[in-house]
Structure 1
Amino acid sequence: MKNTFYIIAIIFSLLFITSCSDYLEKEPDTELDIDMVFQNKTKVEAWLAGVYSGIPNPGIDWLNRHGWEIFGDDLTASSRWQQWDWKNLPKIFGEWTPNTSWDGSYWNRMPQNIRQAYIFMERVKALPDSDLPQSEVDNMKAECRFLVAYYYWLMVKTYGPIPFQPDYIVPSDFELSDLMVGQTPFDEIIAYLDNEMLEASKLLPASYQNIEKYGRVTSVMCLTIRAKMLLFAASPLVNGNDWYVGHTNDKDQELFNTTYDPQKWVKAAEACKLLLDLAEASGYQLYKVYNDDGTIDPFTSLESMWWTGFQEGNKEILFPYSRIHDDDNFKYYSSKAITPEFGGGGGLGVYQGLVDAFFTENGLPIDDPESNYVENGFSDSKEVRNTAWKGGTGVEGEVTFSGTYNMYCHREPRFYTAVSFHGGWYPLANRKYDFLRNGLDNNYTHDAPQNGYLVRKKIYPTDSPKTGSWKWRQVFLYRLASSYLDYCEAVNEAYDTRSAREDALVYLNMIRERAGVRKYTLDAVSLNDPNFITVADNQDAMRDIIRRERRVELCAEGTRWDDIRRWKIADQLTEVSGACYGMDFSGTNTSEFFNRTVFQTRVWKNAYYWFPIYIDEINKNPNLTQAPFWE
């Protein structure tokens, strides 16, 4: 009976195996006795690949299946793509109930991967005659230990408190009552996962020299997720949020601690610093490309980071996604931002709020009186900067054409490498973008930039679905700049002191230096200082600049949704909870087009801070408590 159950489990698991690297690309036989599986190295590796298969794909998953990029206020997909079953789009318009399906389906999928990991750890053994030594087995088990914790964390981050039975494999002779488990309080789950990730990190290397193992779990990956988890756990959504008073489980335990605990920020800061110290000692660093004169070329650095692999010198990658034969991992995302002329969807844009969030050339936000920002009218000369980048006009060093709308002139480099705008350069077509109605890039259908913008970030300039020309790129979930910003936030919240703020600015300024904008200082400097901008020496001012930096540095990378949730500000953001703006894509000339126009209206309910437990699960298990405000 027990072996029969295992056979069913492995058949199910192996249906979904996708390789994590060359090492994990193994094709197993499925109808095997469990003992036979773990006596064969190839099948052991295949089982491990099945455990890895739960890692979310930052291409199609974050964009469509899971919806992270759509739920936040970075990327806006054409609302009319709903006719092709974009199930996450109706959710942003308020059409979301506990009956609504979700393709991410963590509630069902993650326990399957977790179960396979536990079976693996229980059954795997050294096979000396097959070149599978005990040292490799120990590494594999440590990888699975982390993946179990990571998958649990993905569930908790999505649904809040969940039924939690670590180290438990459902026996073959289980009773139905064994499965009728209520939720465990949020903080208890976090404490357990914290320890598991930390302990797993102690058993794994910081990186692998063997290229075939690239993508396997490292100590750096363990500590990256641990730090991000503790940052979330310290944030306002789950640290002292009185919304959730009385939200209890079947044992009448409060599922959230609604009393603010400042020590959670201390713990998060310490976790972030532990990661950064290990990463930097192991050779991880921000990816930079330099000009001939030795200065950083921010344009080329920011753009080429996405198609420069770890083995090619991009040591910024902390958590790679290495299913190298998974075509969806970047082609799906890219094709949605490429115009129909070249076989793309042409409707994946960015919100006007993101356009406005980028700093000006002098490093100040556009709402700062000293930023020199001009919104209306057109430039009377081309803009030239010190860069080898050709993405501005097709000519090296030129960033904008003469006659460019002023809103898009004299902005920071990250803007130009993240946003495609009317009158900007379209490398694939070897011309300017034309987003006017019935123009070359606006057919005024579902496949058109609905608010006058397309996303540019992560899009290789000459990728073409029409010709099947795709530039290989290293896809990854998290990079060092993200963890720098995690630490900046955590240390600022943990310690309201000048020394803490100075520490935060060290890392914040590394990011700004690479981005080609002036750095911050707590000291008074001239408004015209070419190197520094003075920021007030207080916690609130630091919080503001850190959040602004996260907004632009990490845009379109899947983190914004988590940020606006954990900060508990989603209900306050216009483009998440109300009118969404852009340029008027119905305009047939520039005077009509260049007007801030509402192109859609979103609906927000505070229930949306957590995904609901699907109603069928509630009906099957009466001990479950539905997520807050979904009753």
Structure 2
Amino acid sequence: MQKHSYIITTCFVFIAATAMTGCKRYLDRAPGADVSSTDAFVNFTNFQGFTEELYSCVPEFTSKTWACDWLLGDEIIHKTGVTWLNEQFDNGDSWSWTTGEWISWLDAPTYNSDPGTGFSKGLWPNSWYGIHKANLGLANLDKLNATQEEKDLVKGQLLFFRAWFHFELMTYWGGLPYIDTVLSSGGKLQLPRLSYQEMANHVADDLRAAADLLPVDWDNTDAGKATLGKNQLRITKVTALGYLGKNYLYAGSPLMNRSSTGNASFDAGYCKKAADAFAELLKLVDSHATWIKLIDFAHYSDLFYTNGGNFIPGYPEAVFQNPVYSSWFAGCPWGPSSIFGEGNIGGGYVSPNARFVENYGMANGLPIDDSASGFDPNDPWANRDPRFYHDIVTDGNQIIKGSAPADKEKYRYANLSIGGYSRDNTSIGRTGYLLRKLTPMTANNIDGFPNNYLHLSYMRLADVYLMYAEAVLQGYGSATSTGPNYLTPEAAVNKLRDRCGAGQVGPQYVADKDRFMGEIIRERAMELGFEEEIRYNDLRRWLLAGTVKYREKTAIDFDRAADGKPINIKERLLITRKFDDKNYWLPLKISDVNLYPSFGQNPGY
């Protein structure tokens, strides 16, 4: 498969005219409405059209606002005087995920499966609707008149989405009822909340079954030939295995283990199951059975944005993505992928947290606080990991590419020193850094804000390698264990170091389990920071979100020397996130908690 111009703006049209008709018809139905078996379920074309609405239930977290507001962890800090979800979480207000639904991709007034927009979708309502729809389809599988391949494709997708929506819900809100039947609209609600691990076991059953039914590559199926070369966003065996492993790893993580058993450490049994699932996936990658592979670092930005190109960002590394909805912010000076304006202080509202930026190590692979790393505090941006230069704008970096009027020429290079024109201590650049990972450098007033499209993956292959490394380390106890007869954790992490040209993990870290886990934590920050809610969920599941180190958001203040080097560098604390133990889980909506007694609220709320 090559990069192509096929950007899906409908609900994954499978067999264009007929499937679109079937899909559109059911977009307008109420969640509990009856569906005629002579219409939706009679043949593969119609049933697939019914199933594909589930893809359009997956929220596009990046399109809710223009302020990177899907990032809820420690990567960023917003401008002052605004009301964004990350800022509310900094204030300790976990309730704001729903009371401020206009800034939260987690909520919306109601479910929305419109294939034409990602703006008004919320994870909470869409997940419950998606679970209902998946169950409705599974209950009617016996009506499908189709080949075995077609039946397997439909069933595999339905099982995957039922599991995926449950997994996303429990990631943020903890154990909930696992709904695997079509609930009667007139029936009495009395399903109890399960523990996290009990729920994870149900998710695993569905994902394992989905993986066994789905193809590695839709292009190699008879049904998939109808959209040959345009199946990039479809659910495959690889997708199901990726989430099977992630589900087990999360279930075995300290937060989830503590909430289920009271033991605030890793559960080795779940971690071994996670390692098995990830190994099964990665062996498919090694055998080239799937088109999924690590992208070369020269094209690393293609994982995140188009820079005016005509392709879906993410290929060939994406394991799971939401559909490509129409995006109001493409080429918009205020979009989350456009953060530079005149003076490089533009429509963006966020700056990278200087404390988070410290995760980026040195080119030799060592962290900056290692005495052998060669880090020079008087020349702090020299010889850093290549991803540092890809992701972060530092003082003196060139931003303006094209010709500029004489009075704008000074803006060509960032000036983030105290009093510099690229720095506003209440707005963009307030930390001494700008974010460029999601942004082409031409996204500025002078170069004209190209028609850039930002599209981030829910899961990509780099994440799988790192989750595999963590699962084997915590399941088998060593960074050099081959675990399920496959890669060692050391080799898995070094796959990503080698890809970007950074030094491999040092032997002193490999020899010590806890120190190697520290390198996994740091590697996940460097590789996956500013993407989806990976960091926020990582810090929570590791029970690190309450640690001061991860609650502090800082800036670096400095002057410029005559040679352009920073001098008088000082770190300044901007805010310390308020965080109590209850904040490890989000509160449930009061209206939902009051539905019936056994659907209780999360502790502390």
When structure 1 is superposed on structure 2, of 592-601 and 351-360 the one drifting more is: 592-601
* Structure 2 counterpart of 1:423, from 385, 396, 399: 396
Match of residue 319 from structure 1: 320
Match of residue 548 from structure 1: 522
When structure 1 is superposed on structure 2, of 544-553 and 317-326 the one drifting more is: 317-326
For 2:312 and 2:565, locate their aligned partners in 1 and report how far apart those are by CA, in whole Å: 46
Decide whether the 8 Å contact of 1:79 with 1:89 is kept in 2.
no
Decide whether the 8 Å contact of 1:21 with 1:323 is kept in 2.
no
Residue 140 of structure 1 deviates from its aligned partner by 2.2
Please show how residues 172-321 of structure 1 align to structure 2 within 5 Å.
Answer: 172=185, 174-175=186-187, 178-209=188-219, 210-239=228-257, 241=258, 244=259, 256=261, 258=263, 261-281=267-287, 282-284=289-291, 286-289=293-296, 298=297, 300-307=298-305, 314-321=315-322
Match of residue 8 from structure 1: none
Secondary structure of the structure 2 residue equivalent to 1:462: coil
For 2:571 and 2:126, locate their aligned partners in 1 and report how far apart those are by CA, in whole Å: 42
**TM-score, normalization by structure 2:** 0.78
Secondary structure of the structure 1 residue equivalent to 2:218: coil
Residue 623 of structure 1 deviates from its aligned partner by 1.9
What is the one-letter code of the residue matched to 1:535?
Y
For 1:499 and 1:145, locate their aligned partners in 2 and report how far apart those are by CA, in whole Å: 35
For 1:416 and 1:78, locate their aligned partners in 2 and report how far apart those are by CA, in whole Å: 23
Match of residue 168 from structure 2: 154
Q: 1:519 to 1:110 in 2, by over 3 A?
A: same
What is the one-letter code of the residue matched to 2:435?
V
In structure 1, stretches of 5+ residues that fail to align are 1-16, 245-254, 290-297, 377-405, 523-533
Decide whether the 8 Å contact of 1:338 with 1:344 is kept in 2.
yes
* Structure 2 counterpart of 1:169, from 182, 187, 190: 182
Match of residue 481 from structure 1: 462
Q: 1:21 to 1:614 in 2, by over 3 A?
A: same
> Is 1:612 matched with 2:597?
no
Match of residue 155 from structure 2: 141
Q: 1:353 to 1:278 in 2, by over 3 A?
A: same
* Structure 2 counterpart of 1:334, from 323, 333, 336: 336
Secondary structure of the structure 2 residue equivalent to 1:216: coil
For 1:62 and 1:493, locate their aligned partners in 2 and report how far apart those are by CA, in whole Å: 37
1:19-57 deviation per Cα after TM superposition (whole angstroms, max 9, x unaligned): 454549836246787326416987655533321123232
Secondary structure of the structure 1 residue equivalent to 2:58: coil
Secondary structure of the structure 1 residue equivalent to 2:216: coil
Q: 1:549 to 1:340 in 2, by over 3 A?
A: same
Match of residue 96 from structure 1: 94
Match of residue 56 from structure 1: 59
Match of residue 115 from structure 1: 132
Residue 92 of structure 1 deviates from its aligned partner by 1.8
For 1:330 and 1:141, locate their aligned partners in 2 and report how far apart those are by CA, in whole Å: 39
1:3-27 deviation per Cα after TM superposition (whole angstroms, max 9, x unaligned): xxxxxxxxxxxxxx97454549836
Match of residue 459 from structure 1: 439
For 1:585 and 1:619, locate their aligned partners in 2 and report how far apart those are by CA, in whole Å: 53
Decide whether the 8 Å contact of 2:339 with 2:345 is kept in 1.
no
Decide whether the 8 Å contact of 2:67 with 2:336 is kept in 1.
no
In structure 2, stretches of 5+ residues that fail to align are 1-7, 108-122, 220-227, 404-411
For 1:585 and 1:370, locate their aligned partners in 2 and report how far apart those are by CA, in whole Å: 25
Q: How many residue pairs end up in the alignment? A: 537
For 2:230 and 2:358, locate their aligned partners in 1 and report how far apart those are by CA, in whole Å: 43
For 1:550 and 1:63, locate their aligned partners in 2 and report how far apart those are by CA, in whole Å: 25
Residue 318 of structure 1 deviates from its aligned partner by 1.6
What is the one-letter code of the residue matched to 1:52?
Y
Residue 161 of structure 1 deviates from its aligned partner by 0.9
Decide whether the 8 Å contact of 2:400 with 2:442 is kept in 1.
yes
Decide whether the 8 Å contact of 1:163 with 1:184 is kept in 2.
yes
What is the one-letter code of the residue matched to 1:169?
V
Decide whether the 8 Å contact of 1:126 with 1:133 is kept in 2.
no
Q: 1:537 to 1:345 in 2, by over 3 A?
A: same
Decide whether the 8 Å contact of 1:265 with 1:494 is kept in 2.
yes
Decide whether the 8 Å contact of 1:449 with 1:585 is kept in 2.
no
Secondary structure of the structure 2 residue equivalent to 1:147: helix
> Is 1:354 matched with 2:356?
yes
Residue 138 of structure 1 deviates from its aligned partner by 3.4
Q: 1:313 to 1:581 in 2, by over 3 A?
A: closer
Q: 1:87 to 1:318 in 2, by over 3 A?
A: closer
For 1:62 and 1:489, locate their aligned partners in 2 and report how far apart those are by CA, in whole Å: 33
Percent identity among equivalent residues? 24
* Structure 1 counterpart of 2:381, from 404, 408, 415: 408
Q: 1:186 to 1:287 in 2, by over 3 A?
A: closer
Residue 180 of structure 1 deviates from its aligned partner by 3.6
For 1:505 and 1:62, locate their aligned partners in 2 and report how far apart those are by CA, in whole Å: 38
Secondary structure of the structure 1 residue equivalent to 2:53: helix
For 2:506 and 2:383, locate their aligned partners in 1 and report how far apart those are by CA, in whole Å: 23
1:581-627 deviation per Cα after TM superposition (whole angstroms, max 9, x unaligned): 11249999998984312223321111111111112222332222221
Please show how residues 526-541 of structure 1 align to structure 2 within 5 Å.
Answer: 534-541=508-515
Q: 1:615 to 1:333 in 2, by over 3 A?
A: same
Q: 1:452 to 1:146 in 2, by over 3 A?
A: same
1:465-515 deviation per Cα after TM superposition (whole angstroms, max 9, x unaligned): 894622456642221111111111111111124741771111111111112
Q: 1:258 to 1:101 in 2, by over 3 A?
A: farther
Decide whether the 8 Å contact of 2:466 with 2:492 is kept in 1.
yes
Match of residue 75 from structure 2: 74
Secondary structure of the structure 1 residue equivalent to 2:467: helix
For 1:49 and 1:77, locate their aligned partners in 2 and report how far apart those are by CA, in whole Å: 36
Decide whether the 8 Å contact of 2:320 with 2:458 is kept in 1.
yes
**TM-score, normalization by structure 1:** 0.75
Secondary structure of the structure 2 residue equivalent to 1:179: coil
For 2:149 and 2:373, locate their aligned partners in 1 and report how far apart those are by CA, in whole Å: 57
Match of residue 385 from structure 1: none
